[in-house]
Each structure stands twice: as C-alpha cells, then as structure tokens.
C-alpha cells in the first residue's frame, strides 16, 4: 500500500512540478511579451517624437533645396538666353561682315574686270601704235630713199641735156666702149641710138670735135652693125671710108666725131654719150 501511496505521491508531485514549470514558462513568456510590447511602444513613441521633432528641420532643408534648384534652373535659363543672344549677335555680325565682304569682293571683281578691259584696250592701242610706228618708219625710209633718188636725179639732171623727150649726158672722163655702156646702164640709160639726121646734128653740136662712143657695134656678126637695143642699122652717118677695120684690126665699136661715125677697137678709151627716154623710164640713178 505504501508503495501505491508513494507511487501516487510521486505522480502527484511530478504533475505539480510540471504545472509549476508550465506556469513559470507562461509567466516568463508573458513577461517577455510585455517587455517586447513595451519596448516596441517605447520605440514607436521615440520614433514618433523624433519624427515630430525632425519634421520642421526636413521641411526647411527641402525649401532651401527647392529654392536652390529653382535658382540653378533660373541661372541655367539665363545662361542659355545669354548664350543664344551671343550666338544670334555673332551670327548677325558674321552675316553683316560676310555681306560686306561679298559686296567688296563683287566691287573688286568689277574693278578687276574694268582694269582687265582697260589693259586689253591699252595693249590693243599699243599694238596699233607699234604697227603705225613701223609703218611710219617704212614710209620714212621710203621717203628718204625717194629724197635721195630725187637728189641724185637733180645732180644728174644738172649735167644732162633734154631734147625732144630724151635726156643726154656727155662724159668728161674716158672709158672703153663696154665700161662706157655700163656707166649709162647703171643710171637707167644706155649709149645713144641716133635715129635720124636731126638727132645726129644735135649730137654733133653737143660733142663738137670730140670723139664720143655711141651705142653701135658689130661684135656679134662682123659687118652687121646693131644698136644697143638689138635693132639693125639700116643707114648711118659714117665718115668717108668708114667702117674700114683699119689695118685688119677688130674695130667692132662705133664712135662719132666731127667728120661722122667711125669704127674703132672696143678697148679704145674715149668719152661717151648716154641717152635716156623720159616716157619709157623716168628714173635716174
């Protein structure tokens, strides 16, 4: 029985002990929960108080930040406006300068064109003046030559005698027949051709008693006398016994003397008479 009692007591004690443990745990849990709730409330109260305390400060900082942002925005807008204004002014200045330079360039182009035209005109005038100068030089040279020729003509004519549209010149010096003829030809004349008695008398009056070469020779064909114009002599004014080829000599050239014509060796030196026809050749050299 005692065993049963002890067992019962032990069981009862154990149950009481378990109840106490459970109550202790519940109390501990309840205390912890109350402490947590209080701590949470204190924390919430602290946060609320802190929020209330800090709310004005945050509001002032936001206001300053907002004002700073607005000021920065205003400054940025002003800077943009200033920059845009500067760009516009610069563009206007560049456009004005460009327009001015364009006008100045156009003026320079027109001026250069005018100067080019003026230069071309001056070159043309210079070319014309150069051609005119050269023409005047040639004309002056021709006039100088004509003057010299006229002077020579006057000098020659001073010693020439005109008779029936012919000029006659009697030399003072003596040459052979060939050299005498060359002298006449160099002056646009030739040894005289006597065509008739009247001309023969004129020559005789000019020469007097002098022996003078005339333009008559039979050097090509012996006995066939021809004038310097290649015409054949048909009749003449030979002196008595002429032509005779005296002593078998070659007397192939004729001269006139006071008694009439005579044949003489062509290398004989004598005076001569030149004849020039005005209408055929009126230039004296």
Give the tens place of pLDDT for each residue, 231-246.
999 888 999 999 987 6
Q: Which of 47-51, 99-103, 171-175 has the lowest mean pLDDT?
A: 47-51
DSSP 194: -
pLDDT, residue 30, reads 58
According to the per-residue pLDDT averaged within each range, which of 20-34, 87-101, 117-131, 146-160 is highest? 117-131
Return the percentage of the chain with pLDDT > 70, whole number: 72
pLDDT at position 2 = 46
CA dist 182 → 159, 177, 179 (Å): 18, 9, 5
CATH classification at residue 164:
3.10.100.10
Report if residue 273 sits inside a domain.
yes
**Whole-number Å distance between alpha carbons of 188 and 180:** 13
Give CA–CA dist 182/178, Å, rounded. Answer: 6
Answer yes or no: is 212 within a domain.
Answer: yes
Question: Of the spans 73-82, 264-273, 276-285, which averages the highest pLDDT?
Answer: 264-273
Q: If we measure between CA atoms, which residue out of 201, 197, 204, 193 comes closest to residue 166?
A: 193
- Pair 216, 253: CB distance under 8 Å: yes
Indicate whether 124 belongs to any domain.
no
Q: pLDDT at residue 100 above 70?
A: yes
Quote the percentage of the chain above a pLDDT of 90.
43
Out of 63-67, 172-176, 224-228, least confident range: 63-67
Beta-bridge mates of residue 157: none
Tell me the pLDDT band of 95, cut-offs 50, 70 and 90. confident
Q: Report yes or no on 192 lying in a domain.
A: yes
Tell me the pLDDT tens digit for each residue of 67-85. 788 888 888 899 999 999 9
Segments forming the whole domain that contains residue 196: 159-277
- Residue scoring higher pLDDT (30 or 261): 261
Inter-CA distances, 275 with 13, 175, 216, 263, 281, Å? 202, 17, 13, 20, 11
Query: 281: which residues sit within 8 A by CB, 6+ positions away?
Result: 188
Q: How many CA atoms lie within 13 A of 111 on its CB side?
A: 6
Indicate the average pLDDT of the chain: 81
Structural domain contains residue 85: no
pLDDT of residue 284: 45
Residue 200: inside a domain: yes
Domain count, the chain: 1
pLDDT above 80: residue 178: yes
The whole-model pTM stands at 0.48
The answer to the question of residue 245 being in a domain is: yes
User: Residue 146 domain-assigned?
Assistant: no
Q: What is the pLDDT of residues 193-229, one digit of tens each?
A: 999 999 999 999 999 889 999 999 999 998 899 999 9
Strand ranges, E, within 52-165: 161-163
| pLDDT level of residue 6 (50, 70, 90 thresholds) | very low
Compute the average pLDDT of residues 19-33: 56
Specify which residues 261 forms β-bridges with.
238, 256
Q: Would you say how long the chain is, in residues?
A: 285
């Amino acid at each position: 029985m005692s065993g049963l009692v002890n067992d019962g007591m032990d069981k009862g004690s154990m149950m009481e002990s378990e109840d106490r443990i459970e109550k202790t745990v519940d109390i501990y849990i309840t205390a912890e929960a109350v402490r947590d709730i209080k701590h949470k409330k204190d924390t919430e109260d602290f946060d609320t108080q802190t929020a209330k305390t800090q709310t004005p400060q945050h509001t002032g900082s936001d206001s300053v930040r907002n004002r700073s942002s607005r000021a920065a925005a205003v400054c940025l807008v002003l800077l943009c406006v200033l920059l845009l204004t500067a760009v516009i002014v610069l563009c206007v200045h560049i456009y004005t300068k460009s327009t001015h330079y364009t006008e100045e360039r156009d003026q320079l182009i027109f001026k250069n064109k005018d100067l080019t035209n003026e230069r071309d005109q001056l070159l043309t005038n210079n070319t014309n003046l150069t051609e005119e100068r050269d023409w005047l030089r040639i004309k002056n040279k021709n006039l100088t030559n004509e003057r010299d020729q006229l002077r020579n003509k006057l000098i020659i004519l001073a010693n020439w005698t005109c008779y029936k549209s012919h000029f006659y010149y009697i030399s003072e010096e003596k040459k052979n027949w060939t050299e005498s003829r060359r002298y006449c030809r160099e002056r646009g004349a030739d040894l005289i051709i006597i065509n008739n008695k009247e001309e023969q008398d004129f020559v005789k009056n000019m020469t007097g008693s002098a022996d003078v070469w005339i333009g008559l020779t039979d050097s090509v064909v012996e006995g066939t006398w021809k004038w310097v114009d290649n015409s054949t002599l048909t009749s003449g004014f030979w002196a008595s016994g002429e032509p005779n080829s005296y002593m078998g000599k070659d007397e192939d050239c004729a001269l006139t003397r006071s008694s009439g014509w005579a044949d003489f060796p062509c290398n004989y030196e004598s005076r001569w008479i030149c004849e020039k026809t005005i209408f055929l050749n009126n230039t004296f050299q």
